[in-house]
Amino acid sequence: MSINFTYQSWTRFPKALLISITIFLCTPSSSLDAGRLNEALKLSIAFKVLANYAQYALTHILYAPLDDPLLDAIVNDQPEALRLLVAVDPEAITTLLSWCGDTYLHTAVVYGQVKAVMILVQANPECTAIKNNDGLIPLHGAAKDGSNEIVMILLEADPESMATQTESGNTPLHFAAGFGTVETVKLLMKHNPPLNTRNNDGETSLQVAQRSGHHDIGTLLQ
């Protein structure tokens, strides 16, 4: 199963790297000194704070200019501001923001911003069908993350999106099955998903679940 290594993966990387380097530098190789480890953990907390700022900056670098008010409203969970902005220019929300081809709706899904997703979909339902460079629509991301509120919003706006395949041939059900989001699989199953669709590896959602070791999901899909 092909996994989209885009913004969400990249912004997690600096945090893990900084924390790992801190503990490595502050922990003796011969023995685990408790006092020194304590200092390392304190430093790691400081690095976490810095990494949070780095993540925010990286969002803008990858997605849009620093003065993008739409992006700021989504990232900072400001639904009222977002509602006003999209009312002025509903077409703007279909803009591709980054090198990976994500839209504002993709971004809202990544952040799990339910209100933002609802506002964007209501303003321009067509944005639910826009694919990024890997062929992912927002529903793929929501299914992967197990964001069921968002899944429901997207399905109500575009029931046909259930059958959308990525460049690797995966449907949203493939993603939910592969990433083990059980409740999302149950939700998708209520909307008659294409169970027999095969991805580029020739696998159905059932086979992806079985290969990934999610046997509970495999039982649901049989």
What is the pTM for the complete model shown?
A: 0.71
CB 126 within 8 A of CB 159: no
What's domain 64-133's superfamily in CATH? Ankyrin repeat-containing domain (1.25.40.20)
Residues of the chain with pLDDT > 90: what percent? 58
Dist. CA 132–CA 129, nearest whole Å: 10
45-104 pLDDT, tens digit each: 555 545 554 554 555 445 544 578 888 999 899 999 999 999 988 888 888 776 778 899
Count, in order, helices (H) and strands (E) of the chain: 12, 0
- Cα 45 from chain centroid (whole Å): 25
9-50 pLDDT, tens digit each: 333 444 445 444 544 444 444 444 445 545 545 555 555 545
Which CATH number is 137-148+159-222 given?
1.25.40.20
Q: In terms of residues, how long is the chain?
A: 222
pLDDT of residue 220: 94
- Helix extents (H) in 30-126: 34-63, 69-75, 79-88, 104-110, 114-123
Q: Say whether 184 sits in a helix, a strand or coil.
A: helix
Dist. CA 109–CA 75, nearest whole Å: 10
Helix, strand, coil % over all residues of the chain, rounded to 5: 65, 0, 35
Domain positions in the chain are 7-63, 64-133, 137-148+159-222
102-149 pLDDT, tens digit each: 899 999 999 999 999 999 999 999 999 999 999 999 999 999 999 999
* Residues sharing a CB contact under 8 Å with residue 94, sequence separation 6 or more, in sequence order: 103, 124, 126, 127, 130
Instruction: Please give the mean pLDDT across all residues of the chain.
Output: 79
pLDDT of residue 207: 95
Nearest 5°: the CA angle 201, 141, 154 is 115
Q: CB-side exposure of 132: number of CA atoms within 13 Å?
A: 23
64-133 and 137-148+159-222 share one fold = yes
Q: How many CB atoms lie within 10 A of CB 206?
A: 19
Q: Which two tokens stand for residue 153?
A: 């919003």
Instruction: Classify the phi-psi angles of 213: left when phi > 0, otherwise alpha if psi is within -120 to 50, otherwise beta.
Output: left
